Amino acid sequence: MSVLHSKKILLAVSAGIYIAAFLVRGLIKAGADVKVIMTPDAQHFVTPLTLSTLSKHPVEWEFFGDKGDWNNHVEYALWADYMIIAPCTANTLSHMADGTCDNLVLATYLSAKCPVYFAPAMDLDMYQHPTTKENIQQLVQNGNILIPAESGELASGLVGEGRMAEPEHIITFMEQHIASTLPLYGKKVVVSAGPTYENIDPVRFIGNYSSGKMGFEIAKEASRLGAKVTLVSGPSHESCHGYPIERINVISARDMYEAMHQQFTDADVVVMSAAVADYRPKEMATQKIKKNDEDMTIELVKNPDILKSLGEIKTNQLLVGFALETNNEEEFAKQKLAKKNLDFIVLNSMQDKEAGFQKNTNKITIIDKDLSLETFDAKSKADVAKDILNVVLKKL
């Protein structure tokens, strides 16, 4: 999933090449919500109807519409998560640098509180002119982000630097720049999720009711924060489709043990939210067991303790565990925290009606290794994931 997914992007088009339509289409394909404003002269190059059709929003270019209603530049500026001025002509560039405010695009730019990207587009000599260079430098000093012009054939027929960056290059530039500003950029986060199944015979298993919802939400939130995420999941119907998450599917506790240890060495953060079966049948029947007897005894053996084994080899990793308890919750959670060498533990209780397996909500208490407690209200698991990752960020 692109970091532009669900972001509100305001595209300001000045009187340059028609390629703006392709930029709108590319941003929408990346999942962004796009609104377009224009300078009055931009209509000579691309029609508002084209951009409106592509963006699914009205396109404005004047302070006052046909019915005399005011197009509020402040509302546009406050709406946007990001603003892009593309193409940014020499004229618009100059006005941005000196603070001139004589059209809707410039008024919106001067009101913007979000990051502003600008992609210059002009002829070769105009782009090389000292005044243009000074204007670009001034805009960068003011905190705007330059998407450099490219070399190629220009509208004049000359070939050289000044051509607006291709739409796909603009989108890639923005994605990479935005990702680099995210708090978990460059970090590897490994999350375990879901149950494990321990086979009794080819058709039966020992398991639990875990859906994997909590772990999947943690993985998705870590990805949104810029991390490289690996999700080790037991059998689960949950999905991380659309996110750049590496998913490793496992079945048993021993499968999960192997996968977690393979991913652990170069991890920065490991969140063990899976509900791992503590025991497995000592022997698995190779054929379906027939119900011939009134009673059946299955001998169980202990599964490897994945979280404890990771705590024993931990070096610089931030290691997070979960504790789902039915009684003496805090006492048992603190014991688990110390025994397994965790940085903090996420406690939820089966006594809370908002918590537990297969629910969309959770109610947690976080206990760190200094035994300080922070209790949160019941929330959706997506919001709980944000709370957990906020604590991760503080610990990092």
Catalytic residues, by residue number, are 208
- CA–CA gap between residue 163 and residue 361 (Å, rounded): 51
- CA–CA gap between residue 305 and residue 245 (Å, rounded): 25
- CA–CA gap between residue 383 and residue 378 (Å, rounded): 9
- Cβ atoms of 282 and 302 within 8 Å: the answer is no
The position carrying tokens 């599917």 is: 249
- CA–CA gap between residue 218 and residue 196 (Å, rounded): 18
User: 87: cis peptide before it, omega within 30°?
Assistant: yes
- Cβ atoms of 216 and 231 within 8 Å: the answer is yes
- CA–CA gap between residue 379 and residue 383 (Å, rounded): 6
- Cβ atoms of 307 and 264 within 8 Å: the answer is no
Map residue 199 onto helix, strand or coil. strand
Tokens matching residue 71: 């197009």
Q: What's the burial of 187, exposed, middle or buried (CB within 10 Å: 0-12/13-18/19+)?
A: buried
- CA–CA gap between residue 143 and residue 117 (Å, rounded): 9
Tokens matching residue 162: 């000044």
The residue among 197, 299, 313, 212 whose CA lies nearest residue 256 is 197
Helix (H) or strand (E) segment spanning residue 313 = helix 306-313
- CA–CA gap between residue 87 and residue 17 (Å, rounded): 7
Count, residues in the chain: 396
- Cβ atoms of 7 and 32 within 8 Å: the answer is yes
Tokens matching residue 380: 């959706």
